């Protein structure tokens, strides 16, 4: 399952640096950020709103790592880590939205970007909660799996693609057009992977339908 190793590698590469540098010191964290982002990161908003952004960094990074391993783990461990994934994602996303809507958050492009970050969080959390409902209440394993794939795709995109676009897209945007580029980057980072997994899920559904149809035909 080579694709699984690709997901795990990118998840670890995205999450671990944030966890490590922010656990050392805020100064080290921003030195690291200024190496990977094209624009100098102002630490002032972080220092004024340290709790929500710290919660976001640690818990969403944990969800990114846990979710990658959920594609392979089975049984009790899968159930346990599924609960951990859900808690980390929901609480971490609340911290992210809280930080995005703080009045000191100045790298965003105003309310339009704040609204975009809100939908980025909703795109990851909503499928996760629906997936949890499907398995806990409806006992529907297939539906649960599909919704959790959607959730992780959005989380993965907002973690990995968001940083990738920051380095590829923003440097080429003129300074007076940077905010529209920033907003477009937010939307692309989760919409693109969600569209890709929808194609994947639809292909699986067609295969399942064909198998059921063939089985029904044989029984006749």
Domain limits for position 55: 2-219
Instruction: Yes or no: say if 154 and 129 are a contact pair by the CB < 8 Å rule.
Output: no
pLDDT of the residue at 172: 66
How far is the CA of 57 from the CAs of 114, 127, 208, in angstroms?
A: 17, 21, 38
Token pair, residue 22, equals 């922010």
Instruction: Yes or no: say if 66 and 88 are a contact pair by the CB < 8 Å rule.
Output: yes
Axis crossing angle, helix 50-70 with helix 2-24, rounded to the nearest 10: 160
* pLDDT (tens digit per residue) in 147-191: 999 999 999 998 888 878 877 776 666 666 667 777 888 899 999
Instruction: Yes or no: say if 64 and 159 are a contact pair by the CB < 8 Å rule.
Output: yes
Token pair, residue 134, equals 């499907």
Mean pLDDT of 116-128: 94
Instruction: Yes or no: say if 117 and 97 are a contact pair by the CB < 8 Å rule.
Output: yes
> Is the pLDDT reported for residue 108 higher than 70?
no
Beta carbons within 8 Å of 92's beta carbon, 6+ residues apart: 55, 56, 57, 58, 59, 60, 61, 62, 63
The number of folded domains in the chain is: 1
The pTM score is 0.84
Mean pLDDT of the chain: 81
- Proportion of the chain above pLDDT 70, given as a percent: 80
Give the residue with greater pLDDT, 92 vs 110: 92
CA distance 64 to 133: 20
* pLDDT (tens digit per residue) in 27-85: 777 777 777 666 666 677 777 778 888 899 899 999 999 998 888 766 668 889 999 99
Mean pLDDT of 196-208: 85
């Amino acid at each position: 399952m080579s694709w699984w190793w690709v997901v795990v590698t990118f998840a670890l590469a995205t999450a671990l640096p944030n966890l490590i540098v922010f656990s050392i010191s805020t100064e080290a964290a921003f030195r690291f950020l200024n190496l990977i982002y094209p624009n100098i990161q102002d630490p002032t908003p972080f220092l004024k709103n340290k709790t929500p952004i710290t919660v976001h960094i640690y818990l969403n990074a944990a969800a990114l790592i846990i979710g990658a391993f959920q594609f392979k783990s089975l049984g009790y461990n899968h159930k346990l880590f599924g609960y951990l994934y859900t808690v980390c994602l929901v609480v971490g996303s609340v911290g992210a939205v809280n930080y995005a809507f703080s009045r000191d958050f100045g790298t965003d492009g105003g309310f339009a970007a704040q609204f975009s970050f809100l939908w980025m969080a909703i795109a990851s959390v909503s499928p996760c909660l629906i997936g949890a409902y499907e398995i806990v209440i409806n006992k529907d394993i297939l539906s649960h799996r599909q919704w959790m794939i959607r959730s992780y795709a959005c989380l993965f995109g907002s973690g990995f693609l968001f940083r990738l676009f920051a380095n590829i897209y923003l440097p080429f945007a003129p300074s007076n057009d940077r905010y529209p580029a920033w907003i477009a980057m937010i939307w692309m980072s989760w919409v693109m992977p969600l569209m890709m997994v929808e194609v994947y899920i639809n292909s699986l559904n067609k295969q399942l339908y064909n198998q059921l149809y063939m089985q029904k035909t044989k029984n006749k």
